[in-house]
Amino acid sequence: MSPRRTDAGGRIDRLRTIRFTFDGAAYTGHAGDTLASALLANGVTLFGRSFKYHRPRGVLTSGVEEPNALVTVLRGEVREPNIAATMVEIYDGLTAVSQNRFPSLAWDISAANQLGGKLLSAGFYYKTFMGPAIGPLKSTRFWMFCEHFIRRAAGLGRAGTAADTARYERMNAFCDVLVVGSGPAGLMAARAAADQGARVILSELEPRFGGSANWSAETIDGMPGADWAARAAGQLEGYDNVRLLPRTTVWGYYDGNTLAALERVTDHKERPGKGEPRHRYWIIRAKSVVLATGSFERPLVFPGNDRPGVMLAHAAERYANEYGVLPGHRIALFTNNDSAYRSALALKKAGAAIVAIVDVRPELSSEMRELADEAEAKSLAGHAVVATEGGKALSGIKVQRFDMVNGALAGDQRSIQADCLLMSGGWSPTIHLASQAGAKAEWNAARQAFLPPKPTQQWPTRRWIGAGAFTGSFSTAEAIAEGRAAGLSAAGGTGTPAALPVVEAAPGDPDPAPVFEIRADGKSFVDFQHDVTAEDVRLAHREGFISVEHLKRYTTLGMATDQGKSSNIPGLAIMAEALGKPIPEVGTTRFRPPFSAVSIGSLAAERFGDLKAERLTPMHDWHVANGATMYSAGLWYRPMIYGHPGETIEQAYVREARATRESAGIVDVSTLGKIAVQGPDAAGFLDRVYTNMFSTLAVGKARYGLMLREDGLAFDDGTTWRLGEQDFLMTTTTANAGKVMQHLEYFLDVIWPELKVHVTSVTDQWAGAAIGGPKARAILAACITGTAVDNAALPFMGIVHGKISGVPVMICRLSFSGEMAFEVYSGAGYGTHVWEALIDAGKPFGLVAYGLEALGTMRIEKGHVTGAEIDGRTTARDLHLDWMLSKKKPFIGSAMMDREGLIAPSRLELVGLISLDNQPLSGGAHIVEALDQANPHDSIGHITACCYSPALGKYIALALVKDGKARRGTRAHISDPLRNRFGPVEIVSNHFFDPDGSRMHG
């Protein structure tokens, strides 16, 4: 027999039928179903294959802690793997597939791994693949060979390659009280805080508010718990000061009571509504936090506890009461505590036969005996389940007498026919968030659980109040009382004497027997998702892994996507027994964020897609209108080429660069960082910041400057213009504009606060156009008024002011291209106006607009450095800029730049390379002295930038090469195995073109 839908009951909408597919087969369910409940209702018991052994697995739980029933959900081309079927709400058209099976779920080749169980035991990877190569079957090289096969056989879902097209949002929220969890404790806390006038956020990771009230058989204030919860949530909805967040998992607890949450806004919908994001990442700052996160039921560890049909007791109760699904017809239970008896009775009432309640405890209370009688169940006290039978579904169990004091089994095994076995190994409070907040959990021997610590042990920056099962108070009546008290206290209220809601519940002792494992023959699973057995834990102990942190890493216990929500405590208990120590002395691992899986898209949110910030230069629209292919550089968009129809990128930049060297070219340089450095001490400050002198610079002149970091390595370069005695305009590279600004501010604020200097970022205030080439001066002369631009008025590195087309401009004669060139700056708002005037004036002279590719080509030809060479590892000497290191003054980095390692002869130095096979060179390629595939030579350097040089008619590159200066004139090879490009090159000076600068000096 298989699971089925009950005739009545549950919180599903039986009038609404929903169609979905699982592994290609069509199924139906009802609104309110999860994928797990809907598949169970269809009689499906096999949900997936286990990680290592490919054992058939069903569904173990009904919630976020599910380790077994992981599926991949497909939306168009996008696949999302490793989602718990218990957390997927079905919708029309939902397409889900099972994982880790080949070729199909029911018939899986790798299930043979089960027979070779020893091979994949604890530490298998370490033992087999780490360490020195002894013999043929060892070492990391062997791992690289085997990896492909093992990854295919052992694993979880496969990630897709299609781009995620969904939208994500980030939301900042503030509140007085954040209540995490909406069971009876959370609902009471939210209400109490809201009544005090506090701004409240109530988050619930499930779609429905109410937690256990949605499926327990208890009544609250005379009505079914689910009705009471629905009413309480409905009332909260009417409060202006309450925000309800369903489907929202609070996954991180950070300083200053900042909590991170993931709201799954549209995962349960066929398609998102207009403007709706898929997920919303909430950053919630709460004055106080109420943790009402409940508890997780624990599995028991015994042979065959992973067979499909074996499930947690409360999960089955929930399937019956909340989803109207019976997970079996003949149900047996196996427990060490009283809560399973309530589950048994609930399933009996829903229509199942309870064939046995196997309890490890020798004596049962009269209340439990009565509950067993009421469920018409055979009560087997002092017994344990020692085996399960069946294949892809359970057919029966074997039980034996059990002595819980010494763990001994005695007497004959008895078989009991059952199609479903429910287990309960006690309950563990969900203390993850408190643990993230720095709290050290405390072992409670009565509850056999780690409880959150007392509030006095909390970190001052992360304060919370606990309520309900989270604190170890497992009854609903306690949850209600603690919830109200917590809500009041969190809101700073003093309390109202109003009567608490009255709970009617079945009796039960919250304390389980201290039994976690039944030791008998067969595989007993502790961590279902990572296939870690009790024997693996003991093996790790025998091999000397006695710290819980080491045990965890060696066996991978609790390191799967469920993060051991169901396995941590049983694993720890087995470890403690092996060590002969009590559990609290073995300790527990600390939980870290996230509590459960978080979509990467939500974390990136506004940083990509249509919400990403963009920086556009004043002339951006002109570039686009004139055929530029735009290139994204940081946040900036810059023209790469202005391509003609049918041109390749290389053809376009070669044409642009050639035209510039033959007549003239113009390029947008507005993205350069620009910093106004002003004040009585500005010149002296620049002397400290730059390696060369600026105090000697005349007003109306500019100078090229180099900055070092404190450790003596090169930092940034650019020109600085002296506009007045106390007024400088510094330019930086585009990429380092922000860093240089912070660098200057740091030194003024922290190191030299006595200096009277003010720095202001003016990058966005100026538009800049660089016009260069043999005809550049003539073009400028044709459109400028108010100043001459000849050699006398505007010498190299001189600055003049004038007007172009009526707009004031500032012009500096400096060159990056190596041509006679001028940088024309105007107010940003006039950028396009001035640019167009220059273009018009240039028409008779053959002026072309050029992009970053041509700019890069001309700078490579000149051997100028950029961020590719100033890469944080090079010194001024490495880049042949030692002529800029003043000996007359100290400057930032001067004391450290001459350290032994920074002047060693073996350092990488800037050189030029010429391709000798007339083939393009490739960026990032290594340089080697000789090519030998079988016995690769050591790299002596790498290419930083490359291009086709129209000026030389060759493929050239800049490179950093070991002892490069001494190698000029010699040959080497580039080696780029990734792109399969190998070839001979000649090492030359980095100054390929016009080395004496006659063109720019004119």
Partner 1 sequence: MLITCPYCGPRDVIEFTYQGDGNRERPQPASQDLDAWNAYVYDRLNPAGDHNEIWQHSGGCRAHLRVVRNTLTHEISSVAFTRGHHKVAARHKAEGKI
Q: Which residues bind partner 1 (CB under 8 A)?
A: 254-256, 258, 285, 438, 459-461, 688, 710-711, 742, 745-746, 748-751, 753, 890-891, 894-896, 899
Q: How far is the CB of 488 from partner 1 (least distance, A)?
A: 25
Hey, what long-range contacts does 782-786 have (CB within 8 A, 24 or more apart)?
Answer: 782/841, 783/837, 783/838, 783/840, 783/841, 784/809, 784/811
Q: How far is the CB of 444 from partner 1 (least distance, A)?
A: 25
Which one, 404 or 896, has the nearer CB to partner 1? 896
Which one, 645 or 753, has the nearer CB to partner 1? 753
Which one, 81 or 712, has the nearer CB to partner 1? 712
Which one, 438 or 774, has the nearer CB to partner 1? 438
- Residue 753, C-beta contacts closer than 8 angstroms, at least 6 positions apart: none
Q: Which helix (H) or strand (E) holds 637?
A: strand 636-642
Would you call 619 helix, strand, or coil by DSSP? coil
CA distance 835 to 825: 10
Angle, CA 463 vertex, CA 459 and CA 469 arms, to 5° = 115
Dihedral, 361, 363, 365, 368 alpha carbons, nearest 10: 50
Which one, 172 or 919, has the nearer CB to partner 1? 172
CA distance 672 to 663: 25
Q: How far is the CB of 189 from partner 1 (least distance, A)?
A: 24
CA distance 316 to 311: 7
Burial class (CB in 10 A: 0-12, 13-18, 19+), 142: middle
Which one, 190 or 744, has the nearer CB to partner 1? 744
Q: How far is the CB of 910 from partner 1 (least distance, A)?
A: 25
Would you call 629 helix, strand, or coil by DSSP? strand
Q: How many helices (H) and strands (E) does the chain have?
A: 23, 54
Which one, 747 or 825, has the nearer CB to partner 1? 747
Backbone angles phi, psi at 636, to 5 degrees: -75, 155
Using an 8 Å Cβ cutoff, are 814 and 797 in contact? yes
Which one, 237 or 745, has the nearer CB to partner 1? 745
CA distance 541 to 724: 76
Would you call 251 helix, strand, or coil by DSSP? strand
Which one, 724 or 890, has the nearer CB to partner 1? 890
Which one, 401 or 463, has the nearer CB to partner 1? 463
Q: How far is the CB of 756 from partner 1 (least distance, A)?
A: 12
Q: Which residue has the tokens 């509850």?
A: 447
Which one, 506 or 741, has the nearer CB to partner 1? 741
Q: How far is the CB of 287 from partner 1 (least distance, A)?
A: 12
Angle, CA 858 vertex, CA 854 and CA 863 arms, to 5° = 140
890 prior amide bond cis, ω within 30: no
* Pick from 770, 776, 769, 768: nearest CA to 661: 776
Which one, 438 or 507, has the nearer CB to partner 1? 438
Which one, 73 or 741, has the nearer CB to partner 1? 741
How far, CA to CA in Å, does 12 sit from each of 8, 29, 64, 230? 10, 9, 19, 14
Cα within 13 Å of Cα(745), Cβ side: 10
Q: How far is the CB of 638 from partner 1 (least distance, A)?
A: 24
Q: How far is the CB of 460 from partner 1 (least distance, A)?
A: 5
Q: How far is the CB of 892 from partner 1 (least distance, A)?
A: 8
Which one, 374 or 711, has the nearer CB to partner 1? 711
CA distance 923 to 957: 8
Q: How far is the CB of 744 from partner 1 (least distance, A)?
A: 11
Q: How far is the CB of 128 from partner 1 (least distance, A)?
A: 37
Q: How far is the CB of 590 from partner 1 (least distance, A)?
A: 13
CA distance 973 to 332: 74
Which one, 268 or 889, has the nearer CB to partner 1? 889
Q: How far is the CB of 901 from partner 1 (least distance, A)?
A: 12
Q: Which helix (H) or strand (E) holds 310?
A: strand 310-312
CA distance 451 to 480: 18
Would you call 728 helix, strand, or coil by DSSP? strand
Q: How far is the CB of 750 from partner 1 (least distance, A)?
A: 5
Would you call 297 helix, strand, or coil by DSSP? strand
* Pick from 507, 855, 889: nearest CA to 661: 855
Q: How far is the CB of 225 from partner 1 (least distance, A)?
A: 39
CA distance 219 to 45: 32
Which one, 748 or 771, has the nearer CB to partner 1? 748
Q: What tokens appear for 316 in the block? A: 């089955």
Would you call 93 helix, strand, or coil by DSSP? coil
Which one, 257 or 321, has the nearer CB to partner 1? 257
Using an 8 Å Cβ cutoff, are 974 and 982 in contact? yes
CA distance 441 to 164: 39
Q: How far is the CB of 672 from partner 1 (least distance, A)?
A: 20
Q: Which helix (H) or strand (E) holds 536?
A: helix 534-542
Q: How far is the CB of 897 from partner 1 (least distance, A)?
A: 10
Q: Which DSSP symbol is given to 475?
A: S
Which one, 237 or 710, has the nearer CB to partner 1? 710
Q: At what angle do helices 649-662 and 852-862 cross, to 10 degrees?
A: 60
Q: How far is the CB of 686 from partner 1 (least distance, A)?
A: 14
CA distance 477 to 944: 70
Using an 8 Å Cβ cutoff, are 620 and 637 in contact? yes
